[in-house]
Homo-oligomer: A and B are copies of this chain.
Amino acid sequence: MSHSSLSHDQLLDRLAETSVRVGLNLQKGQQLIITAPLDAVPLVRRITTHAYKAGASLVTTFYNDDEALLARFAHAPEESFDTAATWMADGIAKAFREGAARMAITGGNPTLLKGQNPDHVSRVSRAASRANRPAMEIITQFATNWNIIACATPAWAQQIFPDMPEKEAMDALWKGIFSASRADTENPVQAWADHNRVLHNRSTLLNKLRFDSLHFKGPGTDIDIGLADGHLWAGGAEKAGNGVVCNPNIPTEEVFTTPHCSHINGTVSSTKPLFHQGSLIDGITVRFENGRIVDAHADQGEDVLNRILESDHGARSIGEVALVPHSSPISQSGILYRNTLFDENASCHIALGQAYTKCMTDPEGLSEEELIARGANHSIIHIDWMIGSDKIDVDGIKNGERTPVLRQGEWVLD
């Protein structure tokens, strides 16, 4: 299937086309808003071209610059760390409400803010979360079509492959991205159609079985995760609120749903490090009682973890549980990407914070309180962390009866 004979530029162009046609399924007349690191300029230009070819009325790109952020941490006055560009975030939310699609390109330095004052890091993150909330709600409610893809950058590549020269590390990272994104197949659009069918079959089956809860068991993990009343499993291509069928994550290997934020009990341990906004958190173990984290420990970055848990009330519960077989291609690559988009698709995971209302039956018309009463957690954060491995068994429980879903990390339900 793999076309190793394609040049880098050809592969880059296929990734751009895949993101526009499969990831966004961009519609004629839609505006498109892209956020990207400065290193992504060549990819953004190709996405822009494919977007206009698909009929985009306007493509607007916001570039973020790691160096400018470091200058802020180095020189800005104290008040800066509680400041965010609310005026810009509100403008973006308005564009989404008026029908714009959203493309996020990830690939920044995973540990950019390592060594910065953790109080400043956490305040900047909280101020940004608050400002971005109106726009993020549109994304979590899946009201418009959106897509996130990755771009290799030297800072990211060097952290994954610290022993390689820069050029070689970049090539290896691009190879991983092209492969996981299926841009290196003969026909990426067809490859994604086939893959989406596998994921749809899994979510359809789980929606038929309607488990009350999932039980995860493995080293450091023994936890019952109740599922929300009227939860829905999703995965692969889905229809957004504006009617557009798109693939929000490229790559994606998960099926996922909404846990019940009051019915989670037990202990769960991370199986891969979490890289959150430039900080590393590793060796996480947390204990839940009645849906809330009452005990949290991390071998590294425990202070960052505790600050995350203090973001708001909902930060101490979870809004997503996702199943990914250990044999997923990303997992099999053996690469720890230090980037959630990739690492969460190599492993079962849960997400602290906000639930996706699309993973609930009939969410429209329900108030925030009613959604919470049905178990859908509410928070300004949504942070995935990895709990799967080849040593994890997962059972689905309904009326006390157990059905094996994963054994030793592999899918056994059919």
Contacts and interface: CB of A to CB of B under 8 A. Distances in A.
Interface of A: 28-29, 31, 38, 41, 44-45, 48-49, 52-53, 55-63, 65, 67-68, 71-72, 74-77, 79-80, 83-85, 87-88, 90-92, 94-95, 98, 100
A63 B63 contact: yes
Contacts of A41: 38, 65
A61 B88 CA distance: 11
A353 to B, nearest CB: 24
Number of copies of chain A assembled together: 2
A146 to B, nearest CB: 16
A50 to B, nearest CB: 9
27 contacts: A31-B83, A31-B85, A38-B38, A38-B41, A45-B68, A45-B71, A52-B72, A52-B74, A52-B76, A52-B77, A57-B77, A57-B79, A57-B83, A58-B72, A58-B76, A58-B83, A58-B85, A59-B68, A60-B85, A60-B88, A63-B63, A87-B91, A87-B98, A87-B100, A90-B91, A90-B94, A91-B91
Nearest to A34: B68
Contact of A53 (B52, B58, B75): B75
A72 B90 CA distance: 25
Contacts of A62: 62
A186 to B, nearest CB: 25
Question: Nearest 3 CB-CB pairs, A to B?
Answer: A91-B91, A52-B75, A87-B95
A87 B92 contact: yes
Contact of A68 (B44, B74, B84): B44
A4 to B, nearest CB: 28
Contacts of A55: 77
A48 B77 contact: no
Contacts of A74: 49, 52
Nearest to A64: B61
Given A29-B77, A58-B83, 15 more contacts: A38-B63, A45-B65, A48-B68, A49-B75, A52-B72, A52-B80, A60-B85, A62-B62, A85-B95, A87-B92, A88-B91, A88-B92, A90-B91, A90-B94, A91-B92
Contact of A57 (B61, B76, B88, B98): B76
A75 B95 CA distance: 22
Contacts of A88: 60, 88, 91-92, 95
A62 B36 CA distance: 12
Contacts of A75: 49, 52-53
A29 B79 contact: yes
Contact of A56 (B29, B44, B80, B100): B80
Nearest to A46: B71
